[in-house]
Structure 1
Amino acid sequence: MTNPSATRTARESDLPALRTIVRAALVHDCDAEHVLDLLWTQTSANPQLRILAEADGEPVGLALAAIRPATASAPTTGHTDLLAVHPRVQGRGIGRALLARSEGLLASAGADQLMIRGRPPYYAWPGIDIRYTRAVCLAESSGYTRGPEGLNMSVDLRTAPLATADDEARLAAEGVTVRRLAPADEIPFLAWMTQWGGSWDGEAARALTYDPPRGHVAVREGADGPAYVGFACHGVNRRSWFGPMGTESSERGLGVGTVLLRRCLADQRAAGLDEAEIGWTAPIHFYARGVDARLGRVFWTYSKGL
């Protein structure tokens, strides 16, 4: 290998080779090619942030980066969304060269801080799966500071309790209808979603782009007409992942969230999946009780000031 740190901008014609790399490197992600396609699409406005590493003229690694504009609470942030090196050449400085080029390009694009962390609403994962030990070592030896961890839970769709008919009948008697999100919901639903903050409205908007939409809503009839009181989405970015979901505080305790969760998981089971992954989990007890979910993957997030 004559030049392990040669990097250049990746092109569309490189995608077959890049798919081979991620299949080999992302051993804990069976949908690695889909992850590549998802993140590749999100860099279309800044193709210079698609980075390929070559050794002896052959593609051996890649990095995909993106800029997240400043908000009222955060500065302009550069994200390294994906970094993968073929296992046969790992440990030879290729990952470090890719990360260095990613950092340089992001700094030139105006980033005030760098992150190795999910970039909603298009994230593929919360951060670095800690089982990718080389990636963790690279981040920590490159000056990144470890931040909050993300926990995922897994659900065995073959055995999980997903029936909802009785609970839906009970909710209907109390004035709450649970149904699939529909294209006609787009304007009022997305207006309602803005109350949740963060990126949930963007993720929910993506749920509406599928046919049928990958989401369900709870609607309460009131004096002023129907009002959304809960929602849940699945497969927004990754086909087997569930989330986000939320229920109005006034409706909690009725079982609305459990029905929404089970309906989404039932969709995933009907699509042929045996397992679903609940991403970036917070209410662990809720998911464990509602669908026998179990703690699974652990992700570490990283940041670095410029």
Structure 2
Amino acid sequence: MKSRPKSEPRGARPGDLPAMRSVAAAALHLDQDGAELVDLLWDGPDTAPPLRVVAESDGEVVGVALGSLSTAGTGGGLRGHVNLIAVAPAAQGRGHGRALLAALERRLLDSGAETLVVRGSTPAYAWPGIDPRYTAAVCLAEAAGYERTREAVNMTVDLATAPLDTAEQERLLTAQGLTIRPLTGRDQPGFGEWMRGWGGSWQAEAALALARPTGSVHVAVRETDGGTEYLGFACQGSNRRSWFGPMGTEESLRGRGVGAVLLRRCLADQRAAGLTSAEIGWTGPLRFYSRTVGAAVGRVFWLYAKEPGEASRHARTEGRTQS
């Protein structure tokens, strides 16, 4: 017989944050910045108080669940994201995870979500999906009716050995009228207008990187009589201190070394900040990163989704009342 917690999860309050950080730090053993992820996801866009939930035992917070909403593509409905569920190790196996998931699902559905997913909610996200080494999280999602839809991978870069010098490449680009430099606040609004052409959340992710003390953005530009022409960008630290991305280069310049310089500059910033390794999040062209900085496939993530009918059924049967 499945055990159930003595009380239903309740809405989280700012005063719960210290305890929530402690729970995440203890439960997320694969992520050294687990406590920081609570703050990242607490403050994320389209996050409202109803989508922050905690579980208690004997008056102490022992579990946390954080969600958010996003629009499912052009003209699509609202998508409810399960961004984090963590239970303190000493309280695991007592039904807190199931209760937290059900409570968060109810709140997401009540907020207008038409589908439920376990995948990164850009621009502020902690992971692309579930690292399957968190086996309990995989089991929880699949028992609740979520189906795996795809995989995403991160690549890992050894910052101690990666070739990060860009002097010669930058000399060649300068001869072509191109400059690679850090982005500053003075680049607005021109950079923002250019970034809107990329679509998606990249403009917002670049803004996050520029705003964070440990983040940075580097750009490729050409100065003309009409002003600054932006041709490429790369970010590090948008969400997590050790993560690189996103990055983009105008199609006309691809293959000319612009992306390699942008990548190496961002990784050099991370190395200068004392990091020994970096993760390229949600990696696309594996070969480019492998050849340029010796990156290797590291973490794998499973992305999940649940059909609306199944989402409603699970939320009703697992929970009694919305707290």
Q: TM-score, normalised by structure 2?
A: 0.90
How far does residue 190 in structure 1 lie from its aligned partner after superposition? 1.1
- Give the distance between the partners of 2:4 and 2:227, measured in 1 at CA: 70
More displaced 10-residue stretch of structure 1: 109-118 or 63-72? 63-72
RMSD between aligned residues: 1.8
Please tell me whether the aligned partners of residues 43 and 64 of structure 1 are also in contact (alpha carbons under 8 angstroms): no
1:64 aligns with 2:66: yes
* Corresponding position of 2:114: 112
SS of structure 1 residue aligned to 2:211: coil
- Give the distance between the partners of 2:209 and 2:63, measured in 1 at CA: 31
Please tell me whether the aligned partners of residues 186 and 208 of structure 1 are also in contact (alpha carbons under 8 angstroms): no
Residue correspondence of structure 1 range 26-175 to structure 2 within 5 A = 26-42=28-44, 46-69=48-71, 71-175=73-177
Identical pairs, percent: 56
How far does residue 182 in structure 1 lie from its aligned partner after superposition? 1.2
* Corresponding position of 2:313: none
- Give the distance between the partners of 1:251 and 1:43, measured in 2 at CA: 33
Note the alpha carbon deviations across 1:115-149, whole angstroms, 9 max, x for none: 11100001111011111001011111111111121
How far does residue 213 in structure 1 lie from its aligned partner after superposition? 6.2
- Give the distance between the partners of 1:21 and 1:99, measured in 2 at CA: 16
Aligned residues: 306
- Give the distance between the partners of 2:251 and 2:199, measured in 1 at CA: 15
How far does residue 44 in structure 1 lie from its aligned partner after superposition? 8.6
How far does residue 227 in structure 1 lie from its aligned partner after superposition? 1.1
- Give the distance between the partners of 1:85 and 1:64, measured in 2 at CA: 12
- Give the distance between the partners of 1:79 and 1:201, measured in 2 at CA: 21
Please tell me whether the aligned partners of residues 182 and 213 of structure 1 are also in contact (alpha carbons under 8 angstroms): no
TM-aligned CA distance change 1:3 to 1:96, over 3 Å: closer
- Give the distance between the partners of 1:43 and 1:62, measured in 2 at CA: 18
How far does residue 55 in structure 1 lie from its aligned partner after superposition? 2.0
* Corresponding position of 2:179: 177
- Give the distance between the partners of 2:41 and 2:6, measured in 1 at CA: 24
Counterpart of 1:188 in structure 2: which amino acid? G
TM-aligned CA distance change 1:114 to 1:271, over 3 Å: same
Note the alpha carbon deviations across 1:209-236, whole angstroms, 9 max, x for none: 2458611000124564431111000001
Counterpart of 1:140 in structure 2: which amino acid? E
* Corresponding position of 1:252: 254
Please tell me whether the aligned partners of residues 51 and 98 of structure 1 are also in contact (alpha carbons under 8 angstroms): yes
TM-aligned CA distance change 1:2 to 1:256, over 3 Å: closer
- Give the distance between the partners of 1:44 and 1:292, measured in 2 at CA: 37
TM-aligned CA distance change 1:49 to 1:293, over 3 Å: same
More displaced 10-residue stretch of structure 1: 71-80 or 288-297? 71-80
SS of structure 2 residue aligned to 1:159: coil
* Corresponding position of 1:207: 209
* Equivalent in 260, 263, 266 of residue 264 of structure 1: 266
TM-aligned CA distance change 1:18 to 1:131, over 3 Å: same
- Give the distance between the partners of 2:4 and 2:287, measured in 1 at CA: 53
- Give the distance between the partners of 1:105 and 1:218, measured in 2 at CA: 43
TM-aligned CA distance change 1:212 to 1:96, over 3 Å: closer
Structure 1 gaps, min length 5: none
SS of structure 1 residue aligned to 2:232: strand
Counterpart of 1:231 in structure 2: which amino acid? F
Counterpart of 1:144 in structure 2: which amino acid? Y
TM-aligned CA distance change 1:73 to 1:157, over 3 Å: farther
TM-aligned CA distance change 1:301 to 1:253, over 3 Å: same
Q: TM-score, normalised by structure 1?
A: 0.95
SS of structure 1 residue aligned to 2:188: helix
TM-aligned CA distance change 1:124 to 1:213, over 3 Å: closer
Please tell me whether the aligned partners of residues 190 and 204 of structure 1 are also in contact (alpha carbons under 8 angstroms): no
How far does residue 161 in structure 1 lie from its aligned partner after superposition? 0.5
Counterpart of 1:214 in structure 2: which amino acid? S
* Equivalent in 303, 306, 310 of residue 304 of structure 1: 306
Please tell me whether the aligned partners of residues 8 and 55 of structure 2 are also in contact (alpha carbons under 8 angstroms): yes
- Give the distance between the partners of 2:35 and 2:273, measured in 1 at CA: 19
